[in-house]
Amino acid sequence: MWEALGTHRYRIIAALALVFLLAHFGSALWIDRDGRWLRGDARGYFAYLPSILIDHDLLFANDFARLNGEPPSDPEGPELDAPDRGWAFNALPIGPALLWAPFYLVGLLAQAVLAAALGWGQPWDGHGFLPTAAVIVAGIAYAGAAAALTARILERWFSPSLATASALTVWLASPALYYTAVSPVYSHTTAWFVVALAICLWLRARDRRDDSDGWRAWLLAGSAFGLAAAVRQQDALLLAALAIDLLWGGGHRIFSPARVRSGLALGLGVAAGFAPQIIAWKVLFGWYLGSPIGWDLFRWTEPRFLEPLLSLGYNGLFSWTPVTALGLVGLVLLVRRDPRVVGGLLLALIAMLYYEFSIYDQHAGSTWGARRFISVNVAFAAGVGALWLPVAARFPVLPGAVASVLVAWNVVLLGAYEWLVHRHGIHAPLRTVVGWLFTGQLDR
């Protein structure tokens, strides 16, 4: 059975994605959505699609009105954040919409065909059910693709079966489970996918670092990392891993012509991949680089170390999903086997941790666990594999047993959390969810 994980990796992942897809749409049979499939930040990510592809602008007022179940607003109405400019504020990045666009266009085409053939819905309705459903499918599909890419990356250090097991465990035992099954139209699973893709391209590029034409591979890898930063800006910190690897001597001249070309190609690729976000910021806010939410959100000299990791509130990385703690420990152990690659990933992860430690508003609205770390699931999965590798040789059953417990606990937490949301109307912190599970008492 262990070997079957590697042999049937893609079938297993596709089957899981189908289960998540059926679960998400099947939940509509008993969850009252008030006619709205998208809530919270999902609306801001989605709004780029009808605004750009249907309206050919970045004026979101009418799109937000439709997403809120209201008639389109007067574009000069006083409810806008900047009525003199005629736009509604949208600080969310454009990257997810770029990756969802192929699915969205298929949904639009299907909507138009059904409208013409059967009179069902309005043709080219950018907010119709099918275009919206297509984006939901995209979020779930990218989660499955991210797991598959993660397993492929892990084959650098582990067997195909162990690589697949580690990737699946992190998918199902981390916050990625919630943002696949319940809220796929957030940026998180899409961010995991594009980061995994970028790491794959980086590993391919580094093998050609000293070739005369190796710069092309670095250009492509840089474009993927730039796009990753356009999906979630904090993922730009992963470029630290590439910089370390590119500058590491390793018996070769650091500033050889090939390496200089590779470094320049990497920078050009990053700029090209991030360019859509720069253009969007210029149109929306009048500047090319900055922070739409403002830098006063950060307290760089007053980081809080324990809350993002061990909080019993809404966002504890280790407390909500212990698999990430195992992954971090294992990643440290894996550095000895591959210091250039794993050391770079570890440094980038530490930088992300400090970034999160410094954010003043740790909660940032309702959340299920430490959702901001889903994009670096590749690093956590590598660490899990590193822990399992020596254990599996002596106790073959133990890794599977531990993984089963971690996944089962995550599924139970998700079920309890969703029950409290839809039956009691509260987005409960971890202490409340666990207390209700074990005592049946609801401490509000």
SS3 121: coil
Q: With respect to residue 317, please indicate whether it lies within any of the assigned structural domains.
A: yes
193 band by pLDDT with thresholds 50, 70 and 90 = very high
Q: With respect to residue 240, please indicate whether it lies within any of the assigned structural domains.
A: yes
Q: Report whether pLDDT(226) > 60.
A: yes
Determine the average pLDDT of the residues in 146-167: 96
Mean pLDDT taken over the chain: 87
Closest by Cα among 428, 427, 433, 432 to 413: 433
Q: Which domain holds residue 341?
A: 2-32+132-439
Q: With respect to residue 53, please indicate whether it lies within any of the assigned structural domains.
A: no
Phi-psi region of 35 (alpha: psi -120 to 50; beta: other; left: phi over 0): left
349 band by pLDDT with thresholds 50, 70 and 90 = very high
Closest by Cα among 361, 356, 344, 364 to 234: 356
Phi-psi region of 287 (alpha: psi -120 to 50; beta: other; left: phi over 0): beta
Q: Report whether pLDDT(87) > 70.
A: no
SS3 17: helix
Q: Report whether pLDDT(76) > 90.
A: no
16 band by pLDDT with thresholds 50, 70 and 90 = very high
Determine the average pLDDT of the residues in 69-73: 61
For residue 394, give every residue at least 6 positions away whose Cβ sits within 8 Å of its Cβ, in sequence order, or none.
none
Residue 162, pLDDT score:
95
Report the number of distinct structural domains present in the chain.
1
Q: With respect to residue 118, please indicate whether it lies within any of the assigned structural domains.
A: no
Per residue in 171-190, pLDDT (tens digit) is: 999 999 999 999 999 999 99
State pTM to two decimals.
0.92
Residue 74, pLDDT score:
44
Q: With respect to residue 199, please indicate whether it lies within any of the assigned structural domains.
A: yes
Per residue in 100-146, pLDDT (tens digit) is: 999 999 999 999 998 888 877 788 889 989 999 999 999 999 999 99
Match 């609801």 to its residue by tokens. Answer: 442
Determine the average pLDDT of the residues in 308-322: 89
d(CA 166, CA 225): 23
Closest by Cα among 207, 274, 210, 213 to 239: 274
Q: With respect to residue 70, please indicate whether it lies within any of the assigned structural domains.
A: no
Residue 212, pLDDT score:
63
Q: With respect to residue 59, please indicate whether it lies within any of the assigned structural domains.
A: no
Burial of 265 (0-12, 13-18, 19+ CB in 10 A): buried
User: Which of 81-85, 235-239, 271-275, 397-401 has the weakest average pLDDT?
Assistant: 81-85
Q: With respect to residue 279, please indicate whether it lies within any of the assigned structural domains.
A: yes
249 band by pLDDT with thresholds 50, 70 and 90 = low
SS3 373: helix
User: Which of 8-22, 62-76, 345-359 has the weakest average pLDDT?
Assistant: 62-76
| Token pair recorded at residue 86 | 């005629």
Q: Report whether pLDDT(329) > 80.
A: yes
